[in-house]
Amino acid sequence: MLVNLSDICAIAEQNNMAIASFNTPSLEAARAALDAAEETGLPVILSHAEGHDPFAPLDYLGPTLVRLAERSSALVCVHLDHCEHLSYMRRALELGFTGAMFDGSLLPYEENVANSWRAADMCAGFGAGLECELGSMGSREAGARDEGGTAEESGATYTDPDQARDFVNETGLDLLACSFGTVHGIYKGEPHLNFDVLTQIRSRVNVPLVMHGGSGVSDDDYRKAIDAGIRKINYYTYGVKFAGEAVRAMVAEREAASPDAVVYWHDMTTTAYERLLADFTSVIKVFANGSGPLA
């Protein structure tokens, strides 16, 4: 069932859990995310990042994701991730997306507020929930800059708790993405999350908080983040990394068995789907923080 971003996060709030938000720029990823949600009975968010448009065009993927969510037995939000252009956001909302993120985190504060306010107005008109970001993770989904490393190396700026309160009041957003030590992409060392920043933000705002750069974080840190108010966790990089490794191992195994082995494209997509399903299922359960089936 297709549900609104705010409603799915309200369920997370009631159950002290976080909803997994998976980027799904392929049919295999979308299928794995939906099957993981249906098998666990837990809600899920299917995310399409504007930066993934070159290899996963919104016009192809958007209608597919919305239709799949509508017919799913799980509670599913179809969400636009890291959108920097309001015209692109309008296209996604017209296709039926039920959530969107406006990312003005690299803009000067006043400009971020002004554009986030316009995005909130647009989302309200479509009955969709809006996520905005304050503070910066430094690197983006699409890898426009170098990904990975420490938060400092990525040019991250922690979200300022007092500014977060003003930002929420001035924009009318529904969810706030915070920067507190996670990075996008592959971590080069142990991630160091600043839960103190998160707790301070939580005490000043009354909207669900979002954690980006969710892959590569320990289960223990996920639990601490959820207990500190994180209700949506974006997860992508490690899932597709594991799927890529599984495909490579499958091809190597076939070639070792026979030098003339033929490997078809659908052999690769099937292997990728199976690996993604295993990973997404385990991630959804960890983020559920002990909650049982909800759908």
Catalytic residues: 81
* Residue whose CB is nearest to Zn ion in the complex, by number: 212
Would you say 202 or 232 has its CB closer to Zn ion?
Answer: 232
Tell me the chain's radius of gyration from C-alpha atoms.
18
Residues 231-250 that bind Zn ion (CB under 5 A): 234
Q: Spell out the alpha helix ranges (H) of the chain.
A: 5-14, 27-40, 58-71, 86-95, 109-126, 161-171, 195-204, 219-227, 237-257, 265-287
For residue 72 the two structure tokens come to 């799913």
* DSSP string of 111-159, one letter each residue: HHHHHHHHHHHHHHHHT-EEEEEESB-SS-TT-SS---S-TTTTT-BPP
Q: Which residues are CB-neighbours of 253 under 8 A, at least 6 positions away?
A: none
Q: Which is nearer to Zn ion, 46 or 294 (CB)?
A: 46
CB of 140 to Zn ion, least distance (A): 7
Nearer to Zn ion, 22 or 273 (CB): 22
Question: At 74, is the secondary structure helix, strand, or coil?
Answer: coil
Would you say 26 or 234 has its CB closer to Zn ion? 234
* Interacting span for Zn ion (CB under 5 A) from 3-11, 19-27, 153-161, 228-236: 228-236
- Using the contact rule CB under 5 A, the part of the chain among 30-38, 109-117, 119-127, 207-215 near Zn ion is 207-215
Q: In this complex, which beta carbon is closest to Zn ion, that of residue 273 or of residue 287? A: 287
Should residue 48 be labelled a site residue for Zn ion when binding is judged by CB under 5 A? no
Binding flags for Zn ion, 124-153, as an x/- string (CB under 5 A): ------------------------------
Closest residue by Cα to residue 198 from 189, 190, 184, 210: 210
Q: Distance (Å, rounded) from C-alpha 126 to C-alpha 121?
A: 9
How far is the CA of 60 from the CAs of 26, 56, 65, in angstroms?
10, 7, 9
Tell me which residues in 155-194 interact with Zn ion (CB under 5 A). Answer: none
Tell me which of 212, 231, 232, 275 binds Zn ion, using CB under 5 A: 212
Smallest gap, in angstroms, from Cβ of residue 118 to Zn ion? 21
User: Nearest distance from residue 253's CB to Zn ion, in Å?
Assistant: 34
Strand partners, 130: 100
Helices vs. strands in the chain: H and E counts, helices first: 10, 8
- Both tokens assigned to 173: 């957003």
**Whole-number minimum distance, CB 172 to Zn ion, in Å?**
21
Q: Give the binding site for Zn ion (CB under 5 A).
A: 212, 234
